Structure 1
Amino acid sequence: MRFAPAAAALSLVFAMQASVGYGAEREPAPRAAQLVAEGRAALAGGQPQAATDAFEAALAVDPGYTPIYLDLAQAARREGLQGKAIAYYREVLDRDPNDYAALSGKGAALVEKGAIEKARTTLSQLESLCGAGCPETRQLAAIISQGPQPRVLTAEAVMPDAQVTQSN
């Protein structure tokens, strides 16, 4: 009984320490931060494959740093791999269901993929979390209003039907 007040105070200190540690965004490992910077520079330079390589290397160095998944998703979207980008956004949302950037990015990738109704569902989820005035909400609403962009066809995709003629 005489240790009860000390035990209660000690448990309160541990509870406060745990909640502070959980709520704060941690810094990436130094090597991972360097790789992320290289990847962002490559992405800004129009090299999504080089960016993906750098982001994946950063993820191998520091797999617990969640923003790397957002960068990987952005690189995947630039390469036209919206399904892969959505998978990266889902990984972020598994870690933090209230990540506004991941919800907005997922909705934009859904629009690019042509899944407008799913994007609208994501928009309503985003509106319920941060409101209609939130920058992520406004950005996703604008993307949905534009609709999916038409795909650019290559010459190989539009090959004429081959016809066989008989010569005499």
Structure 2
Amino acid sequence: MRVSAIFAAAALLVLSVSTSLMAQRPDAQIDPRSLALLQEGRAAQAAGQTEAANDALESALAVDPRNREAFVLLAEIARGRNLPGKAIRLYREALLLEPNDLSALRGQGEAMVAKGAIEKAKGNLAKIKTICATGCNDANMLAAAIAKGPPVTTTAQVEKPATPAKP
């Protein structure tokens, strides 16, 4: 009697675990609705509608947070808006999903250069060079951005009011 209860419990455990594992999708399979929203975002970005592109890409990530391309495109939009910190974070999310994504490594490195983090950008360049040993365009583009350095920022000059002439 005791043995049959244990076997029944074990069988129930195996059944529940196997059905829950079968219901999960593999990591490589992204929800088709998310892919459709990604295409919508690309089209809006190509048309110069960055707000619409941003909205579509965020919706794509809400549908399926494993959509790496949506993270990369959102990061590109952030860089276009001169938000390198946000771009670095979005590229990091893409790199968590695929650590060897060359475009995300290059984009993150370029955003780091814009932020002034040259040494970290050199780390990204080293990763790119190890991934594609025979030199690739992403490595050349990031090396050029590092050589160029961070953008020069101008500070506002405060003009002193003119002193009135003494009579």
Q: Which residue of 2 aligns with 1:131?
A: 133
State how far apart, in whole Å, the 2-side matches of 1:87 and 1:143 are. 19
TM-score (norm 2): 0.70
Aligned-residue RMSD, C-alpha: 2.6
Task: Please report how far the alpha carbon of residue 150 of structure 1 lies from its aligned counterpart in structure 2 after TM superposition.
Answer: 3.1
State how far apart, in whole Å, the 2-side matches of 1:112 and 1:47 are. 24
Confirm or deny that 1:97 pairs with 2:99. Answer: yes
Contact conserved, 2:66 with 2:97, CA < 8 A, in 1? Answer: no
State how far apart, in whole Å, the 1-side matches of 2:63 and 2:107 are. 24
Q: Structure 1: which 5+ runs fail to align? A: 1-20
Confirm or deny that 1:77 pairs with 2:84. Answer: no
Which residues in structure 2 correspond to 1:146-161 (within 5 Å)? 146-151=148-153, 158=156, 160=158
Confirm or deny that 1:57 pairs with 2:59. Answer: yes
Q: Which residue of 2 aligns with 1:121?
A: 123
Name the % identity: 45
User: In the comparison of the two structures, how many residue pairs are matched?
Assistant: 140
Q: Which residue of 1 aligns with 2:4?
A: none
State how far apart, in whole Å, the 1-side matches of 2:72 and 2:83 are. 14
Q: What is the CA deviation profile of residues 108-164 of structure 1, one whole-angstrom value per residue up to 9, with x for unaligned ones?
A: 11112122222112111211222251221122112222222334x6xxx7373576x
Confirm or deny that 1:68 pairs with 2:70. Answer: yes
Amino acid of the structure 2 residue aligned with 1:134: C
Amino acid of the structure 2 residue aligned with 1:120: K
Task: Please report how far the alpha carbon of residue 52 of structure 1 lies from its aligned counterpart in structure 2 after TM superposition.
Answer: 1.3
State how far apart, in whole Å, the 2-side matches of 1:30 and 1:93 are. 21
Confirm or deny that 1:140 pairs with 2:142. Answer: yes
Q: Which residue of 2 aligns with 1:31?
A: 33
Task: Please report how far the alpha carbon of residue 58 of structure 1 lies from its aligned counterpart in structure 2 after TM superposition.
Answer: 0.8
* Aligned-partner SS, 1:64: coil
Amino acid of the structure 2 residue aligned with 1:160: V
Distance 1:160-1:69 versus aligned 2 partners, 3 A rule: same
Contact conserved, 1:116 with 1:144, CA < 8 A, in 2? Answer: yes
State how far apart, in whole Å, the 1-side matches of 2:65 and 2:71 are. 9
Between 1:128-137 and 1:105-114, the stretch displaced more is 128-137
State how far apart, in whole Å, the 1-side matches of 2:92 and 2:81 are. 18
Contact conserved, 1:132 with 1:138, CA < 8 A, in 2? Answer: no
Task: Specify the structure having the higher radius of gyration (Cα).
Answer: 2
Q: Which residue of 2 aligns with 1:11?
A: none
